[in-house]
Amino acid sequence: MARLEVKGVSQEYGDLRVLDDVCLTVESGQVACLLGPSGCGKTTLFHIIAGLERPVAGSVKLDEQDITGESGHLSYMLQKDLLLPHKRIIDNVSLPLVLQGMSKEAARDQARPLFEAFGLEGTEERWPSELSGGMRQRAALLRSYLFSQEFMLLDEPFSALDAFTKADMHTWFLDVIERCHTTACVVTHDIDEALTLADVIYVMRGAPQAGMPTRIVGEEHITCPHSERATFNLTPEFLTHKRAVLEMLG
């Protein structure tokens, strides 16, 4: 578990200002959701947090350590599952350990016991092309987890799944977060998904292409425990939160 603090982050590409003074905090053990319309710069913000890009201003701190522009500190799961088609599932998920210098066999041995917790038992020797969308996403999440248990960035991890699989994956995801003592930050453009997953929702607004850089326009804290989230959307509180979020989105 780790605490993430993003302070005053701005980003520009040439004359185009994409992010303007973005500040957010994710406390350890929490799930934060970044909610905003497509194309508002959520992925850019994630690239900055993951250290793939350096912002023009601002800082990213993980447990008080400045990691601005440095990759390799927290795990980043991109929109697509991005399992490498030429590696078996076990080698795909243990890849981060191999990249850190572990031998292939040792990495496999470390990954193997986690397959059950991630609902992937029996798929170890399969090729990614043999797995369903939901299973591939689980494998991608296990790979992220093996890279860093401290903090996970997830960029629209469930957007490619159908509604039924998605609901299953939400429950499963919260369970994994709880059991693995991880902090997570999830990007989504789905309000219901944000309300189901998040302890805190940061609402982003802006249209960089139209000359309006994206800012954080508000935050919504949700106190419902992770274990009761499966039916949370049937409660009046859910609607109250949803109304508040919709107002922020404008």
Contacting residues toward another protein, per CB under 8 A: 47, 50-52, 71-72, 75-76, 78-80, 82, 84-88, 95-96, 98-100, 125-127, 129-130, 147
| Residue 236 neighbours by CB distance under 10 Å | 7
Q: How far is the CB of 29 from another protein (least distance, A)?
A: 22
Question: DSSP readout, the chain?
Answer: ---EEEEEEEEEETTEEEEEEEEEEE-TT-EEEEE--TTSSHHHHHHHHHTSS--SEEEEEETTEE-TT--SSSEEE-SS----TTS-HHHHHTHHHHHTT--HHHHHHHHGGGTTTTT-TT-TT--GGGS-HHHHHHHHHHHHHHH-SSEEEEESTTTTS-HHHHHHHHHHHHHHHHHHT-EEEEEES-HHHHHHH-SEEEEEEEEGGGTEEEEEEEEEE--S-GGGGGGGGGSHHHHHHHHHHHHHH-
* Nearest-approach distance from CB 4 to another protein, in angstroms: 15
- In whole angstroms, the minimum distance from the beta carbon of 49 to another protein comes to 10
Question: Rounded CA gap, 148 and 169, in Å?
Answer: 20
Kindly tell me which of 92 and 188 has the beta carbon lying closer to another protein.
92
Cβ-based nearer residue to another protein, 158 or 232: 158
State the minimum distance, in angstroms, from the CB of residue 128 to another protein. 8
Residue 142 contacts residue 118 (beta carbons within 8 Å): yes
Shortest spacing between CB 110 and another protein, in angstroms? 15
Q: Tell me whether residue 127 or residue 172 sits nearer to another protein (CB atom).
A: 127
Question: Which CB atom, from 131 or from 203, has the smaller least distance to another protein?
Answer: 131
Of the pair 152, 203, the CB lying nearest another protein is at 152
Distance in Å, CB of 87 to another protein, minimum: 8
Nearer to another protein, 129 or 223 (CB): 129
Residue nearer to another protein on the CB measure, 86 or 179:
86
Q: Write down the least CB distance from residue 88 to another protein, Å.
A: 8
